Structure 1
Amino acid sequence: MHRGRTYDHESVQEFWQYRWNQEDVYELEDLEDPLYVLGMFPYTSGNLHMGHVRNYAITDAYARFKRMQGHDVLHPMGWDAFGLPAENAAHERATDPQSWTDSCIARMREEMETMGFGYDWSREITTSDPEYYRWNQHFFREFYEEGLVDYRGAEVNWCPDCETVLADAQVVDPPADVDLDPGTEGVCWRCDTPVETRELDQWFFTITDYAEELLAGLDDLDGWPDSVTEMQRNWIGKREGAQVAFEVGGYGPVEVFTARPETIHGATYLAVGPGHDLARELAAEDATVAEYVETDEERETAGVPTDRTATNPATGEEIPVYVAAYVLDDVGTGAVMGVPGHNEHDHEFATAMDLPVRQVVEPASGSADLDREAYTGEGELLDSGAYTGRSTEAARSEIVDDLDAAEPDTQYRLRDWLISRQRYWGTPIPIVHCEECGPVLVPEDDLPIELPEFVQTRGNPLDEATDWTETTCPECGGPAERETDTMDTFVDSSWYFLRFLSPDREDVPFDPDLANELLPVDVYVGGKEHAVLHLLYIRFFARALADIGLLEHREPVDRLVNQGTVLHGGRKMSDTEGNAIAPHEYGAETTRLFVLSAAHPNRDFDWAAKDVGEAYDLQQGIYSLVYEYAEGIQLADRDGPAERYLDRELDRAVAAATEDYDSFRIHQAIDEIRRLTRLLGRYRAYDTPDAETYRAGLKTLLRLLAPVAPYLAEECWNMLQADRLIVEADWPTTASDIEAYDRERTLVTTVRDDVRDIVETAGIDNPERVELVVAPGWKYTAYETAREADEESIVSAVMSDETVRQHGTAAESYAQSLQREGLEPVLSRATERAELERASWLLEDEFDAAVEVREASDADDELAARAEPGRPAIYIS
């Protein structure tokens, strides 16, 4: 293998990939008790982008770190291979989704290997393989028989460009340059096309059955970011309130749900959604209502009046009934009591329809301007009959208890998971439709139902595959047609972490014994954008699998790490933005070092050439140190202050980096690597290095580096002729107690900064001697006494100590100076002196001056008087 003075990753990466594969360093044959580290597997888009690299560099660094600490680490990779974009890409390239997907996987796998990611490829899975998606069909059958599947007509979100249904979570806020028509909820998450509403027969997983458990379980997810659990909490949207029956003349009771039953005296109208049974009945009698209900386009008016009235059960008042599009048919009961004085949506509707706005809640302070906006806060009831003067909080339950037409109720914003997709490239739903029997499950023995040959068409290619769709009913044997909807790809990703445990099992979707032993996933890394698209679904799936007896764990992930976005020019880096940078453009090591050092994993950061250059310089600096050592430099056998300082600093670096890697502060671990690299360079240049100390420093540096720059670390480790591969080396440990290492570092940094300030301020061009004077013992006693005393009694507490008091006015003056907040802990007097003596070579090297550390008793009185704990007195001549 060629070795030059400059590190060239391309010249070594193929060799080290070969060695790692030859040694099977990432493959786990026996899953006894591994640490399960998982990055969210990628959609097969064609190339790795920087978002992928950042995600997988984080998981790879952590997996390598833990492997070096002695853990067996399960770190697999697979492919989220189904989905509409593959169909679109295949259409654009005049090919089929399978061929396009396979080519993408081959390309992305090669790029991952080039980046040095250490995966157990023996467990690789692809969700578009029949061997995988047959188990999606198996779960559908199991869920169906458990009562967790529903088939019904429903208004759905429809993307006219993708020609498919979208789940609620796939309807997102529009980009800044997209204007939506009034009433349009959002745009397609994939293509930014404004979403329409259609009514279709659809398949649902009844995730709402688990709404309360999913909500309660968030309190136990201590290892998840608060932002994610809060997003899920809001998406589930629990609301406690009451169901209230309003009697509608000529129809009967209409149930409404309200979270604020105490405002019922302010109800001035009743509104039902266009899909409500009452609206349908009225449409049959009234052409205006029919036109409003039946239109598929954006309705021009907020609502339409009807000839019916409803009786307010609290007041006996007759109020008008409206049909209004703002009342959603599948939220609550599909009907609302309109309280425009105290509900924003009701206020907007009442203003548009010129309906009365009645105030029944008085704010505790100030007044409400109901002409301008609704008052939605708490307060005191007014014009509310017997409840007038009661607080809203007290009246909330009292009214429900007293009113025969009301009963307590809890509802959720969460809606059932719509899994139907009108596209080819997905898991076929294992259902046939029979005119005699209705929807019928395909028998287990007939699974998998494989996709037919792809046919280019604008709509769903499965509708064109008549040889595939025409079949017989499993129940009656009569003619039937296969379901042509395929499953939402989030079904594929809701259980893939289980398949990694036993990817070759043909008899079961996953080994239940292994799953029960190894779950939950120890660390899961991915973007926060999946908080309700993916992470909520895997939590639902785990619970459903537990209830059908396949799994014991109801929470699938212990620790969740979100990675931020890579920006370029302030915008998300992407091909569509025209600002993407290929991961291989700067080389694997430079890219990995930069994306990991730029920010905390959960922070966004902007790609900057300067910072990339610093990552490149770091790798070259490390390589240069090892290269020169391997080529042969003069070494000594000595044990002076510089060696003792370096030994101590190695311990400090190991302790800090270990804590940083464990806490996913990988950017700070790289700071430690950078600091240690500079220190070793200074030690190398200061004097002839001690052979044992310098080699130990280089080996420690490389082991700290190995998780983030594996090619470089492995190449340098080989140049040192160290034992084994570095990927299999033991993580370094500390040789001494480093409890106070941060205070020691602070002391040295402070003293060096103070010396520089004195030299610069005094204009000393060539300092000859630097004298550091450690404070007398009584000042340390006074300082610790002050730290433990109440702020008001610091002086008296300090002066009550005889060893301090005997120093008279000097002691009293020092006690006065300590009467301030937040006295930080300091090193002991002996430790401070020892650390200054160890670090004295740094000052000698920087200023080319003799350095002496002295006790206060051996120094000039005036100089000694200036010395304080943690701040030695400094004299420069």
Structure 2
Amino acid sequence: MARDFQHTAVESKWQDRWDDENVYHVEDAEADPTYVLAMFPYTSGNLHMGHVRNYTITDAFSRFRRMQGDDVLHPIGWDSFGLPAENAAEERDTNPRDWTMDCIDTMREGMRDLGFGYDWDREITTCEPDYYRWNQWLFRRFHEEGLVERRAADVNWCPSCETVLADEQVEGDDELCWRCDTPVETRELDQWFLKTTEYADELLDAIDDLDGWPASVREMQRNWIGRQEGATVEFDVEGHGSVEVFTTRLDTIHGATFFALAPEHPVAQSIAEDDDAVADYIDSVDPDEDTDEKTGVDTGLTATNPATGEEIPVYVADFVLADVGTGALMAVPGHDERDHEFAVKKDLPIEQVVAPADGGDVDVSESAFGEDGVLVNSGEYDGMSSAAARDALEDDIESAAHETNYRLRDWGISRQRYWGTPIPVVYCDDCGPVLVPDDELPVELPEFVNTTGNPLDAADEWKQATCPECGGDARRETDTMDTFVDSSWYFLRYTDPHNTDAPFDSERANAWMPVDQYVGGIEHAVMHLLYSRFVTRALEDMGYVDDPEPFENLVTQGMVRLDGSKMSKSKGNVVSPERIVEEYGADTARLFMMSAAQPERDFDWSASGVESAREFLDTVYRLVTERPTEAADSDPAVDEYVAREVDAAVATATDEYEDLTFNNALSEARGLASLLVRYQSDATPDIDTLERGLSALVRLLAPVAPHVAEELWADLGHDGFVAEAAWPEPERDVSDHDLERALVENTREDVRHICDVADIDDPAAVEIVVAPEWMHTALDLARDADGNVMGAVMGDEELQQHGDAAASYARDLQESAEALPEVLTPTEEYEALERAAWLVEDEFDADVSVERAEDAPDDVARKARPGRPAIQVHEE
């Protein structure tokens, strides 16, 4: 297909010039810093359409802010450690480093081809020793602060990946590995933990202040931290002493009709030693199996309810989880659905001890009543509200104590794999675990050994070390760090990427942080964002940064789909960015991506949409390169109309870019381009007005289509790069322009409607008559009236002089009193239609007149309304 410009040549030319002039480099000491960042990519190889969308969002926004005069930090790097690289290397009989570096080269070239304006001087690669050295340094600092712990723990183990997974990396009800979808097992291993729980309250409470984050992400973070206010209380289990439970509903304790233990609970294990039935049941329970059916075994023992003194049966049950609460619970089937289901199955008592506060009836034998209410069947506590009863019972039951519980667990960072940051610890028979000193960092990875299990276990020479404390023989830790450690602070390294003395200079970091605009996938709403918040908050406490929150504003971009399904290699529905760039150009791909939907929304890839984006760029290219350059007599009214539309487009597009609603900003640019095409082809344009409109249009497109914008900026005769040009500004007040636009568009649509209904193919003239001033007065009175519109309007002596016409209009206003329109003044309305008359003339090839009501025939004028002029179409 013939193109108006050769995108390959144009894009290559401007990419080279940007590089030669280092256009996107930003100095450290800038006066007006703005930090725009996309979540850096995992080095998987070729870019996909999700990458194109994510990185075009930040690129467009950073270009926009740079043109507004900000000093913009817009860096990129590579999240390059991780198990997929190790697996890929094994499959290809190579090593993870070579495979990773090849991927980085491919992705870097793809990003350059797309014209992303990064400060490549700040590029970081997390698998390089000059980066992961600082992971190890931070590990030491966290250890010094008491935020690192090594302990035996039940961990999530992926048998396919042969590594530990954090809770956040176990997905879905089926508990599958987030990387390979293998069912996750439970194992007990010695692990290194970062004590995220120390910051649980701070992390939770600060969510309320994250006004620039999506509400859905904030709620996901709240739910993951999962703070619960409740109480611990002890039940005496026959032959096994006191067993503590945690409950958020101590007010229901009088309704506890059985006691339940998790199969892993120490008391359950102790009971199993003497009870074969219990032992057999525990052996039959698969802790990794997720089933809706609740099972359990009666131990034959009883527990004493501390509130009532009653003996209740003790069960070992699979619906009690060892890592939730204390692994034991008081079961209240009347007020908990889970307990109710089990009680019905085992024919256990179900008692009501809370009634609805409004006095309504509930039947707890049918289903549990789980809401707060008023206590019943609870002795001296009858009649108390649930909240008051909880407080009273905490005071009255000797073993009861208020407690805050959390879903959040400490962050287990140990991974039994090769391709990650070595944990800087050695083990000495005399001294135990010892941290590697700062001056011996980084502990670098040895050469890759392709083996099953943990390859570092096979690196015998590398494992041999000297104890930093006693100088004796020691062996290195063979676990590496979870790769989320890499991404938990990388945004700080960008502020000072070449520092060899520290991970970053605090003064530089504080000058840029927090990130003003962060963009990434919703899949990172818990893990990456929570860990980043934890690390930044801890660093603030240590005095390394001033702001405890790393990201001020967050956008989670939607997916790019094909025929309703997410693009994926496994489905065979991937559209290659390289092919689109080659066939249509990078600007076309970017323009389509940003025009299709708001960043948060999913959207379907469309071949016709891509073609439309390219056709639009060709139109703009012709518009600029074929513009008239010689002055001619023009119509001042038409020129004024176009000038005002230019200003309105600039004002609206600016607001939309600020809000990252690029599709709306580009819609304004399209509308402006369409107008300028008509102005250039169907009117005699004023050269200065046209040049200003074209200059504004090119700059409105520059954030999204930077290559063709540079080409056209040069063609317009401007010096320097459009990437460094000043953003356009309106030259007049356009605050009411939405009303003006609506007036003009509605009027044009009404003319079309009249012609269609009257079957007028070739109108000779169109009369447009604006409403009289008295109608505007009536509308103002109606808007201020307190319900009685008729009285407010007809009570005005001046309006009374218009008799039946005023009464009829007042009735119309009364009927629409709930939705009275905002309109221009009579003079503004008349002038706006005068300026736009040329559009009607051009569309219908007819003479157009705009008249005030007092100058028009009565039979036409009486039909006019504020904001809706009367229209008379005359045939030939």
> What TM-score, normalized to structure 2?
0.95
Structure 1 Cα separation of the partners of residues 116 and 798 of structure 2: 62
Structure 1 Cα separation of the partners of residues 97 and 347 of structure 2: 58
CA contact (8 A) 2:260 2:331 kept: yes
Output the amino acid matched with 2:13.
F
Q: Give 2:682's match in structure 1, choosing from 682, 686, 692.
A: 686
Structure 2 Cα separation of the partners of residues 132 and 288 of structure 1: 55
Structure 1 Cα separation of the partners of residues 479 and 346 of structure 2: 41
Name 2:440's counterpart in structure 1.
446
Summarize the alignment of residues 273-672 of structure 1 with structure 2, pairs less than 5 Å apart. Answer: 273-290=262-279, 292-293=281-282, 297=286, 302-363=295-356, 364=358, 367-587=361-581, 588-629=586-627, 635-672=631-668
Summarize the alignment of residues 201-240 of structure 1 with structure 2, pairs less than 5 Å apart. Answer: 201-240=190-229
Name 1:180's counterpart in structure 2.
none
CA contact (8 A) 1:292 1:299 kept: no
Output the amino acid matched with 1:415.
R
Compute the displacement of 1:394 (Å).
3.0
Alignment partner of 1:806 is 2:801: yes
Three-state SS of the structure 2 residue aligned to 1:433 is strand
632-641 or 100-109, larger mean C-alpha shift = 632-641
Compute the displacement of 1:384 (Å).
1.7
Q: String of CA shifts for 1:92-112, please: whole Å, max 9, x gaps.
A: 111111001101111001000
Structure 2 Cα separation of the partners of residues 768 and 209 of structure 1: 80
Compute the displacement of 1:353 (Å).
4.3
Name 2:250's counterpart in structure 1.
261
CA contact (8 A) 2:260 2:328 kept: yes
Name 2:51's counterpart in structure 1.
52
CA contact (8 A) 1:584 1:591 kept: no
Three-state SS of the structure 1 residue aligned to 2:516 is strand
Compute the displacement of 1:287 (Å).
4.3
Structure 2 Cα separation of the partners of residues 371 and 201 of structure 1: 46
Name 1:817's counterpart in structure 2.
812
Structure 1 Cα separation of the partners of residues 295 and 153 of structure 2: 22
Output the amino acid matched with 1:548.
M
Compute the displacement of 1:5 (Å).
5.9
Structure 1 Cα separation of the partners of residues 89 and 427 of structure 2: 30
605-614 or 133-142, larger mean C-alpha shift = 605-614
Alignment partner of 1:187 is 2:176: yes
CA contact (8 A) 1:5 1:627 kept: no
723-732 or 296-305, larger mean C-alpha shift = 296-305
Compute the displacement of 1:307 (Å).
4.8
112-121 or 275-284, larger mean C-alpha shift = 275-284
CA contact (8 A) 1:302 1:353 kept: no
Summarize the alignment of residues 851-862 of structure 1 with structure 2, pairs less than 5 Å apart. Answer: 851-862=848-859
Structure 2 Cα separation of the partners of residues 482 and 274 of structure 1: 36
Name 2:698's counterpart in structure 1.
702
Name 1:789's counterpart in structure 2.
785
Name 1:96's counterpart in structure 2.
95
436-445 or 72-81, larger mean C-alpha shift = 436-445
Summarize the alignment of residues 83-162 of structure 1 with structure 2, pairs less than 5 Å apart. Answer: 83-162=82-161
Q: String of CA shifts for 1:766-797, please: whole Å, max 9, x gaps.
A: 1111111111111111111211221x222222
Compute the displacement of 1:256 (Å).
0.7
Output the amino acid matched with 1:249.
E
Structure 2 Cα separation of the partners of residues 195 and 306 of structure 1: 29
Three-state SS of the structure 2 residue aligned to 1:557 is coil
CA contact (8 A) 1:243 1:409 kept: yes
Structure 2 Cα separation of the partners of residues 584 and 727 of structure 1: 24
Structure 2 Cα separation of the partners of residues 464 and 292 of structure 1: 40
139-148 or 96-105, larger mean C-alpha shift = 139-148
617-626 or 51-60, larger mean C-alpha shift = 617-626
Closer, same or farther: CA 416–5 of 1 in aligned 2, 3 Å: closer
Compute the displacement of 1:80 (Å).
0.5
Compute the displacement of 1:292 (Å).
4.9
Three-state SS of the structure 1 residue aligned to 2:788 is helix
CA contact (8 A) 2:262 2:322 kept: yes
Compute the displacement of 1:518 (Å).
2.2
Q: Give 1:244's match in structure 2, choosing from 208, 233, 244.
A: 233
Compute the displacement of 1:228 (Å).
0.7
Residue-pair matches, total = 861
Structure 1 Cα separation of the partners of residues 646 and 412 of structure 2: 56
32-41 or 350-359, larger mean C-alpha shift = 350-359
Name 1:7's counterpart in structure 2.
5
Structure 2 Cα separation of the partners of residues 475 and 319 of structure 1: 56
Three-state SS of the structure 2 residue aligned to 1:356 is coil
Compute the displacement of 1:831 (Å).
0.9
Compute the displacement of 1:400 (Å).
1.8
Name 1:827's counterpart in structure 2.
824
Output the amino acid matched with 2:738.
D
Alignment partner of 1:37 is 2:36: yes
Compute the displacement of 1:833 (Å).
0.8
Structure 2 Cα separation of the partners of residues 867 and 297 of structure 1: 78
Three-state SS of the structure 1 residue aligned to 2:309 is coil
Compute the displacement of 1:217 (Å).
0.1
Compute the displacement of 1:243 (Å).
0.8
Closer, same or farther: CA 438–358 of 1 in aligned 2, 3 Å: farther
Alignment partner of 1:27 is 2:25: yes
Output the amino acid matched with 2:389.
A
**5+ residue gaps, structure 2:** none
CA contact (8 A) 1:197 1:296 kept: no
Compute the displacement of 1:115 (Å).
0.5
Structure 1 Cα separation of the partners of residues 67 and 341 of structure 2: 62
Compute the displacement of 1:799 (Å).
2.4
Output the amino acid matched with 1:822.
A
Structure 2 Cα separation of the partners of residues 165 and 539 of structure 1: 22
Output the amino acid matched with 1:672.
E
Output the amino acid matched with 1:828.
T
Structure 2 Cα separation of the partners of residues 542 and 611 of structure 1: 42
| C-alpha RMSD of the superposition | 1.9
Compute the displacement of 1:286 (Å).
3.7
Structure 1 Cα separation of the partners of residues 344 and 225 of structure 2: 30
Output the amino acid matched with 1:27.
H
Name 1:179's counterpart in structure 2.
none
Structure 2 Cα separation of the partners of residues 747 and 137 of structure 1: 65
Compute the displacement of 1:570 (Å).
1.1
Structure 2 Cα separation of the partners of residues 159 and 171 of structure 1: 9
Three-state SS of the structure 2 residue aligned to 1:755 is helix
Compute the displacement of 1:367 (Å).
4.5
Alignment partner of 1:270 is 2:265: no
Compute the displacement of 1:299 (Å).
8.5
Compute the displacement of 1:396 (Å).
2.4
Name 1:177's counterpart in structure 2.
none
**5+ residue gaps, structure 1:** 175-184
Q: String of CA shifts for 1:562-611, please: whole Å, max 9, x gaps.
A: 11111111111121221111113222112111111111110111112222
Closer, same or farther: CA 777–745 of 1 in aligned 2, 3 Å: same
CA contact (8 A) 2:184 2:288 kept: no
Compute the displacement of 1:370 (Å).
4.1
CA contact (8 A) 1:637 1:691 kept: no
Structure 2 Cα separation of the partners of residues 165 and 503 of structure 1: 31
Compute the displacement of 1:854 (Å).
0.7
